[in-house]
A and B are shown apart, each in its own frame.
Chain A
Amino acid sequence: MPDLSKYRFTSTHEWVAPTDGGVRVGISDYAQAQLGDVIFLELPEVGRTLSAGERFGVIESVKAASDLYLPVGGRVAAVNAALTESPEKINNDPYGEGWMLELADVDESAAQLLDEAAYKALTET
């Protein structure tokens, strides 16, 4: 298991973790397992500013399409272009290579985040 002590989670199964000068966003291992094989990912344009809780994209598996919600607010500084060709990285490494967005100018004021233990408790009930 990767070290998730710096990761925080939403009740909708996204994660956010600090990087140099900003944060990265992705979905949890629990979420990828529930979705099954990820086929397609729709991500926002770089440069857009979004707020915490806002829908930032769609993730699609064979079974279903699900909306993705931003854990914190911020400006989209980068999207993980490798996922366009290899969305299975989300299944294989959801906390590493399966990252989706990098945000700058992060705004946590409206964020409702869970730490690893609280998120774990949520997914085990």
Chain B
Amino acid sequence: MARHTPLYERHRAMGARMVEFGGFDMPLQYSGIREEHLAVRQRAGLFDISHMGRVRFGGDHTGAAVQRLVTNDLERIEPGRAMYSMMCNDQGGIIDDVVVYRGLGTALVVINAACRDKDVAWMRDHTDGGTVVDDISDQTALLALQGPGAERILGPLTDADLEKLRPFSTVDGTVAGVDVAVSRTGYTGEDGFELYVWTASQSERLWDALLEAGTPAGLLPAGLGARDTLRLEAGLRLYGQDMDEETDPFSAGLGWTVKLDKGDFIGAGALRDIKKRGPERRFAGLGLEGRAIARHGHRVCVDGRQAGAVTSGTYSFTLGHGIATAYVSPELAEPGTRLTVDIRGTTAAAEVVPLPFYRRST
């Protein structure tokens, strides 16, 4: 049985088409992926992302414990700020990609839904008795308000000073009377906010208030379909599809999240070796000619020989052609390289392009 988020009844009542993802029954789409995608790029979209796992760390050694678990360096950010990081195993394989919020003597680590059980077990096995690892996912909820109109919609509903809230920063406050942490983060490539609702049962009140305030501004509720096309245009990775425990951060183009000089952490030795000898394959963006969609597992070829495989692909509603990401041999990862993708027996022309495919104008 798939789990439900606290907003499940809202999704059903709104006629969302549901899909199982990461062990949850989630909205795939409400009005349609294209419409929802374009709403987020041009106006605003509201997502229920309560399926994402939320783990709170506490205790005297929180800072050191989290530093040992993740590859990025928490010392580089102040309390109240967040950073993207990998959590690796001893071989340097990615257990999960996470966002760590640094608090005062605490930390909140946001993990992928499908990884929740293995991540929490790994965290508990690799911290000492003085560190509390508290999976608060079930008692909390998480909403994302994304798009260029997000600040204007959220502003009148909250006591948080959004103008002063920088990207990857968070502040406690209320929105429509609901206690939340407002975080200027997202997974769409747009400006926007993620709202951590500390009491799950209040999430419907928040959802309703945001919809009511946003609808006149063109906000649409948006599902996982649009979330996927948006994140792919923005060049953001999806765990389980773009990387897994057999993938190291350097191959995945995420070497910037590995800070080998920060002191010891799990996987540091292996990652040092991988960095020295260079990864055997590299993550690359592909622009496709035409409208056919390259999908996970499709073969990437040069002169008819396989030279890699697609990890994610979609039609880019913003760019008007197919886009994909793939692992290819390092010598083929340079932008401008011409490749082909075997899409169910049909050869589609493609070119390596820089990531992200889409970057918002600021």
Contact = CB atoms under 8 A, between A and B. Distances in A.
Interface of A: 36-37, 39-40, 42, 58, 60, 62-63, 65, 87-88, 91
B229 A39 contact: no
Nearest to A84: B291
Contacts of B295: 65
Interface SS majority for chain B? mixed
A36 B225 contact: yes
19 contacts: A36-B32, A36-B33, A37-B33, A39-B291, A39-B293, A40-B290, A40-B292, A42-B292, A42-B346, A62-B33, A62-B34, A62-B225, A62-B229, A62-B315, A63-B28, A63-B33, A65-B293, A65-B344, A91-B32
Interface string B14-34: 000000000000001100111
Contacts of B229: 62
Contact of B225 (A58, A63, A65): A63
Contacts of B340: none
Interface string B340-351: 000010100000
Interface residues of B, number: 16
Interface of B: 28-29, 32-34, 225, 229, 290-293, 295, 314-315, 344, 346
Nearest to A41: B291
Nearest to A85: B291
Given A36-B32, A37-B34, A63-B225, A58 B291 contact: no
A36 B29 contact: yes
A60 B295 CA distance: 11
Given A65-B293, A87-B291, 18 more contacts: A36-B29, A36-B32, A36-B225, A37-B32, A39-B291, A40-B290, A40-B291, A42-B346, A58-B344, A60-B292, A60-B293, A62-B34, A62-B229, A62-B314, A63-B33, A63-B225, A65-B295, A91-B32
A58 B295 CA distance: 15
Contacts of A87: 291
A42 B345 CA distance: 13
B29 A40 contact: no
Contacts of A91: 32
Given A58-B344, A62-B293, A39 B225 contact: no
Contacts of A37: 32-34
Contacts of B315: 39-40, 62
A87 B229 CA distance: 18
A52 B128 CA distance: 68
A60 B322 CA distance: 12
A87 B293 CA distance: 14
A101 B225 CA distance: 30
A58 B290 CA distance: 15
A65 B314 CA distance: 11
A39 to B, nearest CB: 4
A96 B58 CA distance: 62
A64 B29 CA distance: 14
A40 B292 CA distance: 6
Contacts of A63: 28, 33, 225
Contacts of B344: 58, 65
A63 B17 CA distance: 12
Nearest to A64: B295
A58 B348 CA distance: 15
A65 B313 CA distance: 12
Nearest to A40: B291
